[in-house]
Amino acid sequence: MKLGTQNQAFFPENIQEKFAYVKEMGFEGFEIDGKLLVENLEEVKAAIEKTGLPVTTACGGYDGWIGDFIEERRLNGLEEIKAILEALQAVGGQGIVVPAAWGMFTYRLPPMVSPRSQAGDFKAVSESLIYLDKIAGETGTKVYLEPLNRYQDHMINLLSDAQKYIEMNNLENVEIIADFYHMNIEEDSIPEALRTY
């Protein structure tokens, strides 16, 4: 098992110093903000070379969810995720972590009626994943689909929800990432969900 970390607010701002700091803490991989990677690609490459600390994945750094209610924002997000996947390819990263959305809507708070149907949700997320599956194939990367808990997203809460998108859309470069925090809220049995999906 290897341990990695996301970027944190208390990490140094300078990219070389940031990578050295993460390495010094004992981490073996860095999950970088996608925007930071794209906008500072050459600096990131130099930091990887100097410290030997790999960028394993990216998370965040784009301005539209794959299940965004606003179509223009969804499409903009897809183009930004494409650029992140291309940058990950350039640094040897494995892929990007994406939820359907975060904090956009929940059935747990008023108005409790989604502005889009469940069929509409499935269509939007499927179109996004089909597009990103192709980009991931071209870049040799993966899209790691992350189910979130019901209080942060209404579309994909269980590992089985994520598996449904992968199977029904015949996705080859989309895989499930299982987050224990969200699973602790949503899954009846974390071990069983991991074994099954």
**Domain assignment present for 148:** yes
Beta strands in the chain (DSSP E): 4-6, 29-32, 55-59, 95-98, 142-145, 174-176
Q: What is the pLDDT of residues 115-140, one digit of tens each?
A: 999 999 999 999 999 999 999 999 99
SS3 37: helix
Q: What is the pLDDT of residues 15-33, one digit of tens each?
A: 999 999 999 999 999 999 9
**Domain assignment present for 196:** yes
The confidence band for 114, taking pLDDT boundaries of 50, 70 and 90, is very high
**Domain assignment present for 173:** yes
pTM over 0.85: yes
What's the rounded Cα separation, in Å, for the pair 71 and 141? 25
What's the rounded Cα separation, in Å, for the pair 72 and 12? 34
For all residues of the chain together, what is the average pLDDT?
97
**Domain assignment present for 45:** no
Total domains in the chain come to: 1
**Domain assignment present for 83:** no
Whether pLDDT at 186 is above 90: yes
**Domain assignment present for 191:** yes
Q: Cα–Cα distances in Å, from 70 out to 63, 65, 86?
A: 11, 9, 25
111 token code pair: 């108005």
Q: Any idea what the Cα angle at residue 120 is, between residues 117 and 126, rounded to 5°?
A: 145
For position 126, which CATH number holds? Answer: 3.20.20.150
**Domain assignment present for 89:** no
Q: What is the pLDDT of residue 1?
A: 85
CB 155 within 8 A of CB 193: no
Residue span of the structural domain in which 175 resides: 98-197
Q: What is the pLDDT of residue 96?
A: 98
151 token code pair: 């209080």
Mean pLDDT of 170-179: 98
**Domain assignment present for 154:** yes
